[in-house]
Amino acid sequence: MSSTQGRRRSVLAMAAGVGITLSSLISPAYAAKDVALVSGAFRRSIPVKEIEHLAETGEAIGLLKNLIDLSGQDPNDVAKLLNQKLNVPLVLTSRLINTRIGDAIVRRVAKIIYPIYTPESAVSVPAIRAGVVNGLQLDEGGLTAVNFLKAYPNDVMAVNLPALFSVVEKAQSIAGLVKFFSDSPLDGLKDGNLSNH
C-alpha cells in the first residue's frame, strides 16, 4: 500500500468518529471533486461543480448536461432531487449510524457508493458516515445530495450504476428508499437491539 493510500485510509477511519471537527474533513483536499458513474468497464466522471451548478441554477452543463439530455430528464426535476433535504437530527443520526442496524444500512449503501480506488467496506463505510454526519453540519435544515458530496472524504466517489438501478426499481421515492434500506438489513437483527455491536 502506498503512503498516499495509507494516509487516506487513516483519514477515513478517523472520519467515522463523531468528535472530528468539520474543518478537518471538508477542506478541498478531502471533499469529493468528482462522481464516477461505474458499470463494468464503463466509467464516466462528473465534476461535483457541475452537480452544484445544476442544484443552484436548474441549468445542466458539461457532461452532466449530456447525460441528462440522453436520459430525457428535465434538469429542473434533477435539481429538485439534488436539493431535497432529508430532515434528520445531527446528534441522533450520528448515534444511529454507529448502531448494529445503522451499520447494516450503511454497509448496504456502501455497495452502491464508495471511494473509487478503495471500495472495501473498511474504507467505504467510514466515508459514508463522514459524509452524512459532516454533511448535516453544513446545513441545519437537513442533508442534501450536494452537502453529502461536499462532506465526502475522498476525491472521487464511485456510483455503481447496476446496484443503483436495482434499488431505484424497488423504491420510487425517498420514503421508499428509506424503507428499502431499513427493511432488508434487519434480517437477523429482529431482536430490536439498537446498541453498538
Enumerate residue ranges in the chain where pLDDT < 50: 4, 6-29, 185-197
- Domain membership of residue 172 (yes or no) is yes
Q: Is residue 196 part of a domain?
A: no
Q: And the C-alpha cell for 174?
A: 425517498
Residue 71 counted as domain residue: yes
pLDDT number for residue 28: 40
Domain count, the chain: 1
CA angle 117, 7, 42 (to 5 degrees): 10
Nearest-angstrom CA–CA distance, 121 and 81: 27
The whole-angstrom separation of Cα 131 and Cα 30 is: 11
120-155 residue pLDDT tens: 999 999 999 999 999 998 877 689 999 999 999 999
CB 29 within 8 A of CB 139: no
**Full residue range of the structural domain in which residue 182 is found:** 3-186
pTM as predicted = 0.70
Asked if residue 191 belongs to a domain, the reply is no
Assigned domain for 113 exists:
yes
Q: 197 in a domain, yes or no?
A: no
Q: Is residue 195 part of a domain?
A: no
Residue 7 lies in a domain: yes
